[in-house]
Amino acid sequence: MIDFCDADRCPAAGCEPALCRGLGLADNVEVFERSSRVIPGGVSSPVRAFRAVGGTPYAVVRGEGPYVWDVEGNRYIDLVQSYGALILGHAHPAVVAAIRAAAADGTSYGAPTAREMKLAEAITQCVPSCALVRLVNSGTEATMTAVRVARGVTGRSKVIKFAGNYHGHADSLLAEGGSGVAVLGLSGSAGVPSSAVAATVVAPYNALPEIDADVAAVIVEPVAANMGLVGPAPGFLEALRAACDRTGALLIFDEVITGFRLGLGGAQARFDVHADLTCFGKVIGGGLPIAAFGGRRDVMEVLAPLGPVYQAGTLSGNPLATAAGLTVLSRLDPAVYDELATTAARLGDGLRAAIAGAGLPINVPVIGPLVGLHFASTPATDYESAKKTDGRMYAAFFHAMLRRGVALAPGAYEIAFPGRAHDTTVIDQIVDAAAAAATEVASKRD
């Protein structure tokens, strides 16, 4: 038997008490080095490895509300919030209770459930462009399948995506992705044959691309949140909608971040531009692995078993994930989104004043509850201008914040996700830390 668990002392199979309970008996370096021996780069997703900011990642043992704790027992105010998967904060009691109750009834069946029905109903009610919804396991699966559906419906192959938009790691969509692809300075990925991206056209964000009769779909982050935070220029989304209508291409909104984050209706409600297909993830699973895509009835009906476009998943519509997601959605309403926007505005105003006050070049875009940090003197409007962010300055600020107990994402192209758990006191603590951190960074500037 593999000796990896002291079952007498710890109820969770597979854990070592000192590591799992954050007893301060382990250290982050030890965990990272041991992980690196068995996991490439020591991480399950590249951005987490701190390559963009340097140093050793902290290994999390626990989260509660706005906080996470690492194995050394350090507490951080967490603005990562699982890259936007959490909107109510860590370990929200109602979400934990829902997961516990669901788990007691079994963790996966491979059969239809009433909870997946209810989650799909909730999405169709909140996002009227989605008449039908299919649940999947990750944002990557959602975008990959939405593109397949668009190709199946139109019989065309070309897909237009925008530079700096990230749609997960499906082969055809990796070209000039933001997020970790940008952080690592990659234009795409090794291992993707040119044939897989031959039908992908990359266009600059916020400019209307040429859409010809071979284009199956235009996929876009309606608010770009993987090259810092870049909003759509006035008329951009409307122009995409009109051009798709004219040419018969389908418009796919990747709302994996914006869905149920900008409001119940996502970016499409906010900008009143509606997609043919929409991808969801993150918030709809309350921190469990679930995502979805939905769209026009005639379009979605091409999916198996109704039609010829195949898609499937052993764990799709998972009982725990749907329980968590439904619990989160039941706690969201327009008043909550107003409150989140107020929180984000307070954070954005505070960060802007603190960092600019120290004499550093900074733009802090705020869109609804989303907050970006762009260390440059001019705002970003597309990938080219987003790349002007000073990555070294971000790294220095990141570490100065971490030392003061505030965890930002370890990459200059990621954004901050203040949520319901970040109350005014916590926001003001972040801003105070930012003022001291920015002063420190400014004093060490060459």
Burial of 18 (0-12, 13-18, 19+ CB in 10 A): middle
Q: How far is the CB of 255 from ligand PMP (least distance, A)?
A: 8
* Residue 252 or 393 with smaller CB distance to ligand PMP: 252
- Residue 7: what are its φ and ψ, rounded to 5°? -65, -25
**Selected binder of ligand PMP within 42, 57, 168, 350 (CB under 6 A):** 168
Catalytic, 432? Answer no
Half-sphere exposure of 273 (CA within 13 A, CB side): 23
Q: Which regions of 389-430 does DSSP assign to beta strands (E)?
A: 406-407
Catalytic, 166? Answer yes
Q: Quick one: which H or E segment has residue 314?
A: none
Catalytic, 254? Answer yes
3-state secondary structure of 436: helix
8 A C-beta contact, residue 120 and residue 297: no
Continuous H helices in 41-138: 81-84, 93-104, 114-126
- Binding range to ligand PMP, per CB under 6 A, among 19-27, 166-174, 332-340, 428-436: 166-174
- Residue 2: what are its φ and ψ, rounded to 5°? -75, 130
- Binding range to ligand PMP, per CB under 6 A, among 31-39, 120-128, 132-140, 267-275: 132-140
Rounded to 10°, the helix 391-403/424-443 angle is: 120
Is 411 a binding residue for ligand PMP by CB under 6 A? The answer is: no
* Residue 252 or 341 with smaller CB distance to ligand PMP: 252
Pick the catalytic residue from 282, 382, 383, 413: 282
Is 140 a binding residue for ligand PMP by CB under 6 A? The answer is: yes
Binding flags for ligand PMP, 206-245, as an x/- string (CB under 6 A): ---------------x----x-------------------
The closest of 261, 288, 291, 313 to 102, measured between CA atoms, is: 288
The closest of 229, 160, 238, 152 to 197, measured between CA atoms, is: 160
Residues 248-267 that bind ligand PMP (CB under 6 A): 254, 256-257
- Binding range to ligand PMP, per CB under 6 A, among 91-99, 134-142, 231-239, 390-398: 134-142
Is 166 a binding residue for ligand PMP by CB under 6 A? The answer is: yes
Instruction: Kindly state the number of chain residues that form the binding site for ligand PMP, as judged by CB under 6 A.
Output: 16
The closest of 130, 150, 162, 157 to 236, measured between CA atoms, is: 162
Pick the catalytic residue from 70, 254, 276, 382: 254
* Residue 145 or 179 with smaller CB distance to ligand PMP: 179
* Residue 152 or 180 with smaller CB distance to ligand PMP: 180
Burial readout 336-374 (b: 16 or more C-beta within 10 A, e: otherwise):
bbeebbebbbbbbebbbbbbeebebebbbbbbbbbbbbb
Nearest-CB residue for ligand PMP: 139
Measured distance CA(348)–CA(417) in Å, rounded: 11
Is 138 a binding residue for ligand PMP by CB under 6 A? The answer is: yes
- Binding range to ligand PMP, per CB under 6 A, among 164-172, 206-214, 352-360, 395-403: 164-172
* Residue 48 or 90 with smaller CB distance to ligand PMP: 48
Is 167 a binding residue for ligand PMP by CB under 6 A? The answer is: yes
Q: Give catalytic residue positions.
A: 166, 254, 282
Q: Which residues bind ligand PMP (CB under 6 A)?
A: 83, 138-140, 143, 166-168, 179, 221, 226, 254, 256-257, 281, 291
